[in-house]
Amino acid sequence: MSTELHPVPTASESGRATALLRFATAGSVDDGKSTLVGRLLHDSKSVLADQLEAVAHASRNRGQDVPDLALLTDGLRAEREQGITIDVAYRYFATPRRRFILADTPGHVQYTRNMVTGASTAELAVVLVDARNGVVEQTRRHAAVAALLRVPHVVLAVNKMDLVDYAEPVFAAIAAEFTAYAASLGVHDIVAIPISALAGDNVVEPSAHMDWYGGPTMLEHLETVPVGGDPSAEPARFPVQYVIRPQSGEHRDYRGYAGQLASGVLRTGDPVTVLPSGLTSTVAGIDVLGRETAIAWAPQSVTVRLSDDIDVSRGDLIAAGPAAEPTQDVTATVSHLNERPLRVGDRVLLKHTTRTVRAIVKDIPYLIDIDTLAHVEAPGSLQVNDIGRVVLRTAEPLALDPYATNRRTGSFLLIDPADGTTLTAGMAGESF
Amino acid sequence: MLPSDAHDRVNPYALSHLDALEAEAVHIFREVAGEFERPVILFSGGKDSIVMLHLALKAFWPAPVPFALLHVDTGHNFPEVIEYRDRTVAEHGLRLHMASVQDFIDNGRLRERPDGLRNPLQTVPLLDGIESNRFDAVFGGGRRDEEKARAKERVFSLRDEFGAWDPRRQRPELWSLYNGRHAPGEHVRVFPLSNWTELDVWQYIERESIELPQIYYAHEREVFSRSGMWLTAGDWGGPKEGEPVERRLVRYRTVGDMSCTGAVDSDAVTVADVVTEIAASRLTERGATRADDKVSEAAMEDRKREGYF
C-alpha cells in the first residue's frame, strides 16, 4: 500500500488518461439535431463500418437512396416505425483529446422531461437553432431548462448557415439575442458557433464559407471546455452509501464509510460533522479502492474512516466546511416527470443522496410557464412536463444544500410509495 | 484513436476518464448493496463480467464482495472460460449459482433450435434462476455502446415478473439518483458498465493488469467459416458439410456461446496489442463476432423485451 500526498490523477500514469465530458443536445423537430449528432459521430470516426452498413441497408429497405444518418441514433422499433425519437439515448465517442458521453435528448413531445433528464448529468448543453428562424419559443425553453439544471456551459449552434448564404449578420443577430436571454437566466458561459450540420461547416472541420468566424469548431470547443470544476473551492460533502466492516482476518477492527464524494476535497485529519445527527469527528484515514491515500476529491469513490466510534450509517452525510442546517421543510423547483399528476396533499417518498424518507406535498405555490417564465399561481397540481415550485414536509431531517451551490446534494427524486414509480425531479432552493 | 492526457493535466483535480468511469461504477455497486436484499452478479467469464467483478472487489475492499455470482451455462462453453470461472470463484471465496440450458433441454422445458443457436435459449434458465433464488437485483455487464437498443437502457432497469423490458415505460434516471424500488416478483437489472466502451474496458484491463481467459489473445485454432465468421468446431454442431476446417491465428472479442460467437483474425498477443487493434478496428464488437444480433434489425430489443439482458 502506498500513500499519496498530492492530488495526482492515478490513470495519468498509463500515458493514455483523458478527461470525460458529459454533454446534452437539445433541438426542435426540424433543427437538424440528428444530422448534427450523426455528423459528430461520423466525422470523429466513431461510426464503424458495420454500423454504417446497417444504416445503409435499413435506408434501402425504406426506399431511400442516401443512408439516413438519423437511423444511427433512433434505436427502437417504435422510433424507426414512426420516425421519431422517444427517449434519451446515450452515445459515446472519443478524440485523441477527450472522451465524450452525449445525452441525445429528443425534441418531440415530452421534451421538457427528456431534456431535464439529459441535462441533469451534463456539464455542457448544445442548443440548436435554425438560422432561418432565429430564436424561437423552443430555444428559450431549452435555455431555461439548461439554466434551471445549472448546466455550467452552453453552446448555441446556429445551424443551416448554408441556407442563409453563410451571412454573418444573420448569425450575429441570433447570437446577440440568445446571449442576452440566457444571461438573464444566469447562464454566463455561452459560446455561439455558426454551423451547417448537413454540409459539415464548423462541426469537426472549419468552414471554408465563413471567413468572418474566428472561433472554434463545435468539436474543438467540446475538446477544450474546462471540465470537472475546482473541488478545492467547495466544501466537502460525502453521502454515506454503505458501511464496510470485514470483521475477519487482518481487518477485524476495520470500519469504513463507503461513498462517492459529492463535492470538495477531504484530507486525513480534517474535522467533520455527521448530518443530520450533528456528531463531530476527524478523518482518521481514506482508502481509495484498496489503496490508502491522504487526500480525496469529488467525484472519487472512496472509503472514509473516522477517529471516533460514533453512529454513522447509510443515508448520513459526512460534511467538512460550512454545512446546511438539516431541515424537514423543503422548498424546491421541480420538474414533473410522470403522467400521474403531483397534487397538494400527496404522500410520497423523497430520495436525496443515499437517504429515502417519507414526505407530504404541503403546497404547490406556482408553476412556471417555461416559455415566458411567468408564474401561474396555485395550480393545485403539476402535470407531466410541468416545472413548478413545491413545498414539502419530510418525516426526517435532510442535509440539503441549495441546488445552485451543489447539484449533487441539492437534487432529489419524488417516488410513488405504492409502486416505486419515479414521479418528480427536485432542485432545492431558488430556481433561477 | 488513442487519447492522450496532455490537455487535462492543467487541472490537478481532473479525473481521467477511466477514474471517472470507475468511480461511477463503484457508486452503482454500493447503491445496490445498500438498497437490495439479494443481489447477484451475472458472470459468464467474459471480459465485461470479469471487469465487473474486479470493480466489485475494489468497491467493498477490504471486506469480501457481498454478492454471489450467477452463470447462465449454455452448455457450449469454451473450456478455457470454465476453468477461469472456477479458479476465480475459488480464489475470492465467492458463491456460484448455475442456470443450465442443457438441464432445461434434458427435462423438456426447452427445445433445441433448428439453427443450433443456444444464446436465445438463455432467457428461460436465467429468469428461472432469478425467481428460484429470489434475486432482486441482477448485475449485467451490458454497455450502451454495444447496440442501439442498449443505448436506451437505464443503469437501473426495472423488470416485471416475466423479466420483460418495456422501453416505453422506463423510469427516467437523473443525476446519480438511482431508483431501485420494486414490487415482490419484480427485479432490477443493474448495469455498472453502462457508460463504458469496448476500448475503455480494454484500457482498464491494461491499467489494472486484470487476467483474462487466454482465448482473448491471438492463438492458433481450428476454425471454419459460417456467415462470414470464424467458428470453433465442437460438439455443438459445427462444422456442417461444405464448411472446411482450417487452422488460423485468431482471437475472440467477446465470449459467449460457441455456436454464435465468432473469432477474428488477429496477431494481438498482449493487452497492449489488443488495445491498439481495437482502437484501429473498423468493426464493432458485436458486428464482428455475434451471429444472433444479425438475425433482424431489432434482434437485441426483441430479446430484451423477453427478459434477455
pLDDT for A2? 37
Using the Cβ of A257 and the Cβ atoms of chain B, whether some distance falls under 8 Å is answered with no
Residue B5 has pLDDT above 80, yes or no: no
pLDDT of B261-280, one tens digit each? 889 999 999 999 999 988 88
Residue B66 has pLDDT above 50, yes or no: yes
CB-CB under 8 Å, B7 with A98: yes
Who wins on pLDDT, A85 or A248?
A248
Residue A132 has pLDDT above 90, yes or no: yes
Residues A9, B16 contacting (CB under 8 angstroms): yes
Q: Which residue of B has its CA nearest to A427?
A: B175
Residue B8 has pLDDT above 50, yes or no: no
Residues B238, B287 contacting (CB under 8 angstroms): no
Residue B174 has pLDDT above 50, yes or no: yes
> Does the pTM exceed 0.80?
yes
Dig out the grid coordinates for B7 from the structure.
490537455
Identify the CA nearest to A110 among candidates A196, A230, A26.
A26
Instruction: Show Cβ contacts of residue A248 under 8 Å, excluding neighbours closer than 6 positions.
Output: none
Q: How far is B77 from chain A (nearest CA, A)?
A: 27
**Of A61-65, A187-191, B26-30, B267-271, which gets the smallest average pLDDT?**
A61-65
CB-CB under 8 Å, A289 with B22: yes
Calculate mean pLDDT across residues A223-234: 89
Quickly list DSSP for A108-140: STTHHHHHHHHHHT-SEEEEEEETTT-S-HHHH
Residue B289: band (very low, low, confident or very high) from pLDDT cuts 50, 70, 90: low
Q: How far is B298 from chain A (nearest CA, A)?
A: 6
Other CB atoms within 10 Å distance of the CB of residue B217? 17
Residues 98-117 on A with a CB inside 8 Å of B are: 98-99, 101, 113-114, 116-117
Question: What is the percentage of chain A residues whose pLDDT exceeds 70?
Answer: 89
How do A242-244 and A292-293 pair as beta strands?
A: unpaired
Using the Cβ of A289 and the Cβ atoms of chain B, whether some distance falls under 8 Å is answered with yes
Using the Cβ of A49 and the Cβ atoms of chain B, whether some distance falls under 8 Å is answered with yes
pLDDT for A74? 57
Amino acid found at A224 = T
State residue B203 phi and psi, 5-degree precision. -65, -35
Rounded distance between C-alpha atoms, residue B185 and residue A130, angstroms: 49
Q: Which residues of chain A are within 8 Å of residue B195 when distances are taken between CB atoms?
A: 90, 92, 101
Who wins on pLDDT, A223 or B256?
A223
Mutation pick from A116, A265, A289, A355 vs chain B, by most beta carbons of B within 10 Å, is A289
Give the relative orientation of helices A137-148 and A111-120 as an angle to the nearest 10 degrees: 40
State residue B101 phi and psi, 5-degree precision. -60, -40
Q: Which residues of chain A are within 8 Å of residue B173 when distances are taken between CB atoms?
A: 117, 422
C-alpha separations of A48 from A51, A54, A71, B233, B267 in Å: 5, 10, 14, 29, 21
pLDDT of B234-266, one tens digit each? 777 778 888 899 999 999 988 878 877 889 999
pLDDT for A182? 94
Residue A75 has pLDDT above 80, yes or no: no
Identify the CA nearest to A399 among candidates A324, A302, A294.
A324
**Of A198-202, B60-64, B117-121, which gets the smallest average pLDDT?**
B117-121
Question: What is the percentage of chain B residues whose pLDDT exceeds 90?
Answer: 55
CB-CB under 8 Å, B15 with A19: yes
Residues A233, A239 contacting (CB under 8 angstroms): no
Q: Which residues of chain B are within 8 Å of residue A251 when distances are taken between CB atoms?
A: 62-63
Calculate mean pLDDT across residues A211-219: 96
> Is the alpha carbon torsion for A153, A159, A164, A166 positive or negative?
positive
CB-CB under 8 Å, B175 with A113: no
Q: Measured between CB atoms, which of B9, B13, B61 is closest to A297?
A: B13
Identify the CA nearest to A317 among candidates A258, A397, A240, A243.
A240
Q: How far is A117 from chain B (nearest CA, A)?
A: 5
pLDDT of A140-151, one tens digit each? 989 999 999 999
CB-CB under 8 Å, B15 with A299: yes
pLDDT for B10? 61
CB-CB under 8 Å, A299 with B24: yes
Identify the CA nearest to A97 among candidates A229, A224, A204, A230.
A224
Residues B217, B49 contacting (CB under 8 angstroms): no
Calculate mean pLDDT across residues B71-80: 89
Instruction: Show Cβ contacts of residue A113 under 8 Å, excluding neighbours closer than 6 positions.
Output: A335, A336, A337, A384, A385, B172
pLDDT for B297? 47
Rounded distance between C-alpha atoms, residue B111 and residue B222, angstroms: 29
Calculate mean pLDDT across residues A203-211: 94
Place of cell 488460423: B248
CB-CB under 8 Å, B2 with A96: yes
CB-CB under 8 Å, A413 with B179: yes
Rounded distance between C-alpha atoms, residue B256 and residue B238, angstroms: 16
Q: Measured between CB atoms, which of B63, B181, B298 is closest to A244?
A: B63
The SS3 assignment for A154 reads strand
Q: How far is A269 from chain B (nearest CA, A)?
A: 20
Residues A23, A100 contacting (CB under 8 angstroms): yes
Q: Measured between CB atoms, which of B14, B30, B167 is closest to A19?
A: B14
Judged by phi (left if over 0) then psi (alpha if -120 to 50, else beta), residue B203 lies in alpha
Calculate mean pLDDT across residues A345-362: 98
C-alpha separations of A389 from A359, B100, B103 in Å: 15, 53, 57
Using the Cβ of A214 and the Cβ atoms of chain B, whether some distance falls under 8 Å is answered with no
Calculate mean pLDDT across residues A258-278: 97
Residues 367-426 on A with a CB inside 8 Å of B are: 407-408, 411-413, 415, 419-422, 425
- Pairs of CB atoms within 8 A across A/B: 259
Who wins on pLDDT, B216 or B241?
B216
Residues B185, B224 contacting (CB under 8 angstroms): no
pLDDT for A5? 39
Highest mean pLDDT among B7-21, B40-54, B70-84: B40-54
Q: Which residue of A has its CA nearest to B179?
A: A422
Rounded distance between C-alpha atoms, residue A106 and residue A247, angstroms: 50
Mutation pick from B2, B8, B207, B285 vs chain A, by most beta carbons of A within 10 Å, is B8
Q: Which residues of chain A are within 8 Å of residue B31 when distances are taken between CB atoms?
A: 241, 354
State residue B264 phi and psi, 5-degree precision. -115, 150
Cα dihedral: A384, A387, A393, A395 (round 10): 50
Residue A135 has pLDDT above 80, yes or no: yes
pLDDT mean across residues, chain B: 87
> Is the alpha carbon torsion for A82, A369, A330, A184 positive or negative?
positive
Q: Which residue of B has its CA nearest to A414?
A: B179
Other CB atoms within 10 Å distance of the CB of residue B37? 8
Q: Which residues of chain B are within 8 Å of residue A8 when distances are taken between CB atoms?
A: 12
C-alpha separations of B309 from A149, A225, B116, B194 in Å: 32, 36, 20, 12
Q: How far is A196 from chain B (nearest CA, A)?
A: 25
pLDDT mean across residues, chain A: 88
Q: How far is B104 from chain A (nearest CA, A)?
A: 31
Q: How far is B217 from chain A (nearest CA, A)?
A: 21
pLDDT for A12? 37
C-alpha separations of A350 from A56, A328, B270 in Å: 46, 11, 49
> Is the alpha carbon torsion for B260, B261, B264, B267 positive or negative?
negative
pLDDT for A55? 76
pLDDT for A3? 36
Q: Which residues of chain A are within 8 Å of residue B194 when distances are taken between CB atoms?
A: 90
Burial environment of residue B200 by CB neighbours within 10 A (0 to 12, 13 to 18, 19 or more):
buried
